[in-house]
Amino acid sequence: MVTELINANPIIYEKKERRAPSAPSAPHDEYAVEPIDQQEDPEHPYSLEELKVITEEAVEVDDQRNYVRVTFTPTVEHCSMATVIGLCLRVKLMRSLPSRYKVDIRVAPGSHATEAAVNKQLNDKERVAAALENPNLLNMVDDCLASSYD
Amino acid sequence: MMELKEIQRLEGHTDKVWSLAWNPTTGHAGIPLVFASCSGDKTVRIWEQNLSSGLWACTAVLDETHTRTVRSCAWSPSGKLLATASFDATTAIWENVGGDFECVSTLEGHENEVKCVSWNAAGTLLATCSRDKSVWIWEVLPGNEFECVSVLQGHSQDVKMVKWHPTEDILFSCSYDNSVKVWADEGDSDDWQCVQTLGEPNNGHTSTVWALSFNVSGDKMVTCSDDLTLKVWETESVGTQSGGGFAPWTHLCTLSGYHDRTIFSVHWSREGIFASGAADNAIRLFVDDNESQVGGPLYKLLLKKEKAHDMDINSVQWSPGEKPVLASASDDGTIKVWELTSY
């Protein structure tokens, strides 16, 4: 059966090739969405990438667990924009990823003076939801993200 | 074996459903079960059960009053009033007038988002809490008027939930500052004070405390947190103290290792089962571990309902009535009603 499936459907073969050896083989579904792969242009906010605030290596994706973790590095240790940058990352991912993905965003360990406080705030979804109802803040976020939609 | 079986999936809200509340006077003597739900779509919906089909339908949409997310809703013990807390910094009071809900009062004063609202057991006091770190206590006056009798400062961060004790006029609040505070009126003139803080130094949570719930007799409490644990607390027998001082709460046990992501809600049923709703989209039920050895775990997992919703679960609430059902509210915009069955 396994052999037949592999022969009958190249997609399965292709998927299996990229999967870790011990991972269980998921039954193939014609509606299955192609896994989000870090190699497939994760659409980092370009300007942040130029500043090395975010890099490809900073994005961890676990498709099996529907999990994404982004680690970013504020430009200076006391950067007061750290929470806004994190909020931009979160909004970008919220709009780009399927809703089943759980997203954690954090400041790179050791890179910011109030790291723990910033991380807690960025991952409190109620505070994030309330912040996004603030038109001034939402406009700022949209401005930051505008170029990434080109 | 026990199973949590889905009775119904309710759609209608167009954004996250943050909270739901059962009308406590329904579900008895042939009165159909009614609950309210509130959402990021700025509305509150009233759902009523059809007694012949056993299914719920939306009978009212309360809109155009709150201008931002409605975060929490709570029925008065009489079932006649519904209080709703909103990110617009107000708490609205709605009265059921012949099936229509009228906003009869708007409580203002908090500096920013109101996170939760709760009625005391007698329906004479209302508590609200906010991101402004304060907890307000309002007295319910005749004619649907409300007077603020105390503004409680003490939490160092955003206050997520307030809940009155089921039998005593003692108020509990939980916060982004990782603590639960206990408030009591020390005297006869609305002199509300913090009488205890359950924080990290006394086995408290290590991250945001999102919700708490009491058992039916009110001598045990369960709290849930961003630290992925549930903690159970107990106090001396409530009610036996005649005019004596406040009885402190002590940590009984911590349930860790069960939850994968933030636990946003916990609710203890009259039958002694407590349900948790979490950001891993699962509902879990816990129960007394009667077979436990001396010193063994006090509570055990009864069941886990994986993929109960497509997204985070924000609220789980057991219904009143002879055969309680469980309702859950989610970021996926839906509410589900479940029954606990054995097979």
Q: How far apart are CA A80 and CA A83, in angstroms?
A: 7
A135 in contact with B at a CB cutoff of 8 Å? Answer: no
DSSP assignment letter at A84: H
State the residue for tokens 């589900």. B336
* Chain A residue numbers touching B261 (CB-CB < 8 A): 102
- Ordered by where they begin, the domains of chain B are 1-340 (2.130.10.10)
Pairing verdict, β A102-107 and A67-72: parallel
- A99, A120, A124: residue with CB nearest B310: A99
Tell if the CB–CB gap between A124 and B226 is shorter than 8 Å: yes
Nearest-by-CA chain A residue for B261? A102
A133 in contact with B at a CB cutoff of 8 Å? Answer: yes
Residue A25: pLDDT above 50? no
Ranges A59-63, A146-150, B222-226: which has the least confidence: A146-150
Residue B19 has what pLDDT? Answer: 96
Residue A40 has what pLDDT? Answer: 33
Tell if the CB–CB gap between B332 and A100 is shorter than 8 Å: no
Residue B202 has what pLDDT? Answer: 82
CA distances from B213 to B13, B87, B220 (A): 26, 23, 9
User: What does the pLDDT average to over B204-217?
Assistant: 95
Tell if the CB–CB gap between B160 and A126 is shorter than 8 Å: yes
Residue A59 has what pLDDT? Answer: 83
Q: How far apart are CA A144 and CA A42, in angstroms?
A: 17
* Chain A residue numbers touching B310 (CB-CB < 8 A): 99-100
Tokens standing for residue A94: 């919220």
Residue B100 has what pLDDT? Answer: 84
Pick the most confident of A57-66, A128-137, B114-123, B191-200: B114-123
Residue B205 has what pLDDT? Answer: 96
Neighbours of B38 (CB within 10 A): 30
Tokens standing for residue B102: 């009228």
- Ordered by where they begin, the domains of chain A are 54-147 (3.30.300)
* Chain B residue numbers touching A125 (CB-CB < 8 A): 279, 312, 331
Q: How far apart are CA B182 and CA B162, in angstroms?
A: 10
Tell if the CB–CB gap between A126 and B311 is shorter than 8 Å: no
* Residue-averaged pLDDT of chain A: 68
State the residue for tokens 């007799």. B217
DSSP assignment letter at B131: T
Residue A26 has what pLDDT? Answer: 45
Residue B306 has what pLDDT? Answer: 87
* Count of CA atoms in the C-beta half-sphere (13 A) of A79: 19
Q: How far apart are CA B315 and CA B278, in angstroms?
A: 8
Nearest-by-CA chain B residue for A135? B68
* Chain A residue numbers touching B69 (CB-CB < 8 A): 129-130, 133
Nearest-by-CA chain A residue for B227? A120
Residue of B159, B262, B265 to mutate for A, most A C-beta atoms under 10 A: B262
A18 in contact with B at a CB cutoff of 8 Å? Answer: no
In chain B, the percentage of residues whose pLDDT exceeds 90 is: 77
Residue B193: pLDDT above 70? yes
Band the pLDDT of B64: cuts 50, 70, 90: confident
Chain centroid offset of residue B242 CA: 28
* Residue-averaged pLDDT of chain B: 91
Band the pLDDT of A46: cuts 50, 70, 90: very low
- B16, B208, B261: residue with CB nearest A102: B261
User: What does the pLDDT average to over A89-95?
Assistant: 86
Q: How far apart are CA B16 and CA B42, in angstroms?
A: 10
pLDDT in tens, B13-26: 999 999 999 999 99
Band the pLDDT of B201: cuts 50, 70, 90: very high
Instruction: Report which of B185, B177, B148 is spatially closest to residue B161, judged by C-alpha positions.
Output: B177
Residue B297 has what pLDDT? Answer: 74
Residue A103 has what pLDDT? Answer: 92
Instruction: Report which of A87, A83, A81, A43 is spatially closest to residue A61, judged by C-alpha positions.
Output: A43
Residue of higher predicted confidence among A12 and B246 = B246
Residue of B158, B160, B175 to mutate for A, most A C-beta atoms under 10 A: B158
Residue A78: pLDDT above 70? no
CA dihedral B163, B220, B26, B100 (to 10 degrees): 10
Residue B238: pLDDT above 60? no
Tokens standing for residue B309: 């919703």
Give B236: exposed, middle or buried? Use CB within 10 Å, 0-12, 13-18, 19+.
middle
* Chain B residue numbers touching A120 (CB-CB < 8 A): 176, 207-208, 226
User: What does the pLDDT average to over A16-35?
Assistant: 39
Neighbours of B187 (CB within 10 A): 9
A126 in contact with B at a CB cutoff of 8 Å? Answer: yes
Residue A121 has what pLDDT? Answer: 84
Residue B243: pLDDT above 60? no
* Count of CA atoms in the C-beta half-sphere (13 A) of B317: 23
Residue A5 has what pLDDT? Answer: 36
User: What does the pLDDT average to over B77-98?
Assistant: 94
pLDDT in tens, B21-50: 999 999 978 899 999 999 999 999 999 999
CA distances from B227 to A124, B185, B257, B306 (A): 12, 31, 10, 20
Name residue B278's beta-bridge partners. B263
Q: Which of residues 106-125 of A touch B (CB under 8 A)?
A: 120, 124-125
**What residues of B are in the A interface, CB distance below 8 Å?**
16, 40, 68-69, 71, 87, 113, 115, 131, 158, 160, 176, 207-208, 226, 261, 279-280, 310-312, 331-332
Query: Mind telling me how many Å the CA of A130 is from chain B's nearest CA?
Result: 7
Residue of higher predicted confidence among B231 and A141 = B231
How many H helices and E strands in chain A? 7, 3
B283 close to B316: Cβ distance less than 8 angstroms:
yes
Band the pLDDT of B288: cuts 50, 70, 90: confident
Band the pLDDT of B292: cuts 50, 70, 90: low
* Chain A residue numbers touching B208 (CB-CB < 8 A): 120, 124
Residue A30 has what pLDDT? Answer: 39
DSSP assignment letter at B296: S
Tell if the CB–CB gap between A130 and B69 is shorter than 8 Å: yes
Residue B296 has what pLDDT? Answer: 73
Residue A113 has what pLDDT? Answer: 75
